[in-house]
A and B are shown apart, each in its own frame.
Chain A
Amino acid sequence: DAGVTQSPTHLIKTRGQQVTLRCSPKSGHDTVSWYQQALGQGPQFIFQYYEEEERQRGNFPDRFSGHQFPNYSSELNVNALLLGDSALYLCASSWTGTVAINYGYTFGSGTRLTVV
């Protein structure tokens, strides 16, 4: 049973460009959350998607946007990239209605984005 799959594994972009990261949730999961993990820091919550809509959002600018498809997979888009956007981006999937304390979150291995 595949867990959470993220692509690509690594990515290098130039400042000002746009990037799209992809996530396929664990089988049976229908909710996807995205986190940003800067070097030496803990993951920071970006947003969560459920039923193809953004259900909760963290403290990130509008340059960060997302999408969820009918098959529950998700994309994270970042526009006008800044050097400070360099980080590991983690996707976590869960089952319908699971709040974080139900510990039903499964994390992927992440996409390492480098902005130069």
Chain B
Amino acid sequence: GNSVTQMEGPVTLSEEAFLTINCTYTATGYPSLFWYVQYPGEGLQLLLKATKADDKGSNKGFEATYRKETTSFHLEKGSVQVSDSAVYFCALSFSNDYKLSFGAGTTVTVRA
């Protein structure tokens, strides 16, 4: 079946540090890939997405590139802020599907 594997957390960083969260997937076919973020006490929010190989999704300083050859969609940010502290989820879905398949999530804490 389809699945998403994320880097285990928690991850603790200092402000202005570089953040990377690894995500790899297993799927039959070519899914669309997503990063969702969950801030404390809130619902999941879409952070960025990519729908085909070599697409780069970007938002709020975060970036991720769809790599078909390595079945990966790693999330990166060059300089994190305290406000980036959250749980980050990698997910996939297909064009004819109504559901999202999520990874286990990675908790990121940024210290001032």
Report A's interface with B, CB cutoff 8 A.
Answer: 3-4, 33, 40-45, 48, 55-56, 58, 90, 92, 99-101, 103, 105-110
Contact = CB atoms under 8 A, between A and B. Distances in A.
B66 interface: no
B102 A100 contact: no
11 contacts: A40-B105, A42-B105, A48-B98, A55-B98, A58-B99, A90-B44, A100-B93, A100-B98, A101-B97, A103-B34, A103-B46
Nearest to B44: A107
Interface of B: 4, 6, 32, 34, 41-46, 49, 51, 89, 91, 93-105
A90 B43 contact: yes
B100 A100 contact: yes
Given A4-B43, A108-B43, A110-B43, A45 B99 contact: yes
Given A41-B104, A42-B103, A99-B93, A106 B98 contact: no
A41 B98 contact: no
Contacts of B98: 33, 48, 55-56, 99-100
A107 B51 CA distance: 21
A90 B44 CA distance: 9
Contacts of B94: 100-101
